[in-house]
Structure 1
Amino acid sequence: MADEIKGKVEWFKDYQFIGSIEGDKCSIILGEGGISPMRLLLLSVAGCTAYDVVMILNKMREPIEGLEVEISGERREGHPRIYKKVHLHYKIYGNVSEEKARRAIELSQDKYCSASAHMKLSGAEVTYSVEIIKS
């Protein structure tokens, strides 16, 4: 059986909610005064692929010193207002081979990043660019 993940969202006050996942050590504020669920979805994609890219580049023994993943999304007009376009810009710091960096990103986007896969399955066009910042 696949891993079952359990969590909950609890109404805090007004239009604020607190979300948590069983076994995790932190919670997140959703809604007013916090992050919107759709913005959190974007951050989830960026976080998922960032994790993959660092792991893959480390396995390739590339000298990565830092990583930023900037993400932007465009939602459709009608409801449900799902993302129709998502763009990721990877800023990779260190003397990393551009060829290996692109390969790590491709592996993340095509094989490992479940959050990106969800976006693509909902019909979003997911694109990316990469910038290597040598030290």
Structure 2
Amino acid sequence: MGDEIKGRVKWTGGTQFIGRIDGDNCAVILGDGGISPMRLLLMSVAGCTAYDVVMILQKMREPIENLEVEISGERREEHPRIYRKVHIHYRIYGDVNEEKARRAIELSQDKYCSASAHVKLSGAELTYSFEVVRG
């Protein structure tokens, strides 16, 4: 059985809420003045896979200098308005071997990234592309 994660969302008036996961140092503003929950879901997927790719490439001893992950999603028109398509583009900086970059992304998407797995399990088509930007 996995670790239980607890958090809370508190209404601050109007259409604004503040969310916090116990033990984390930051809070998230949802709604007015903040980010929508569905946009936060996209950011979660991007953050999850970015973490994986950096850690995997470092473990492979590849000279990664930076990473940017761009993500886009299309939602269904009908409720619930879940994502039907998500695309992730990885921009990897450094003299990184392209095959190892591809392998790191595949490992993230097929094995490690729990957030991507949730999106795929909801039926969304998840695609990705990447580029290596050298010096």
The interval holding the TM-score normalised by the smaller chain is over 0.9
RMSD: 0.4
Q: Secondary structure at the match of 1:100?
A: helix
Structure 2: distance between partners of 1:32 and 1:83: 22
Q: Secondary structure at the match of 2:118?
A: helix
Residue equivalent to 2:98: 98
Aligned-residue offset at 1:96: 0.2
Residue equivalent to 1:126: 126
Verify: 1:35 aligned to 2:32, yes or no.
no
Structure 2: distance between partners of 1:124 and 1:63: 33
Percent sequence identity over aligned pairs: 79
Residue equivalent to 1:112: 112
Question: Gaps (5+ residues) in structure 2?
Answer: none
Verify: 1:45 aligned to 2:17, yes or no.
no
Provide Cα deviations, 1:54-82, integer angstroms capped at 9, x if missing partner.
Answer: 00000000000000000000000100000
Structure 2 counterpart of 1:9, one-letter code: V
Structure 1: distance between partners of 2:102 and 2:60: 12
| TM-score of the superposed pair, with normalisation by structure 2 | 0.99
Structure 1 counterpart of 2:113, one-letter code: C
Structure 1 counterpart of 2:119, one-letter code: M
Structure 1 counterpart of 2:36, one-letter code: S
Residue equivalent to 1:13: 13
Structure 1: distance between partners of 2:77 and 2:14: 26
Provide Cα deviations, 1:9-49, integer angstroms capped at 9, x if missing partner.
Answer: 00011100000000111101001110000000000000000
Residue equivalent to 1:23: 23
After TM superposition, where is structure 1 displaced by more than 2 Å over at least 4 residues in a row?
Answer: none
Q: Secondary structure at the match of 2:10?
A: strand
Structure 1 counterpart of 2:115, one-letter code: A
Provide Cα deviations, 1:103-133, integer angstroms capped at 9, x if missing partner.
Answer: 0000000000000000000000000000100
Structure 2 counterpart of 1:76, one-letter code: R
Structure 2 counterpart of 1:30, one-letter code: L
Q: Secondary structure at the match of 2:33?
A: coil
Residue equivalent to 1:71: 71
Question: Gaps (5+ residues) in structure 1?
Answer: none
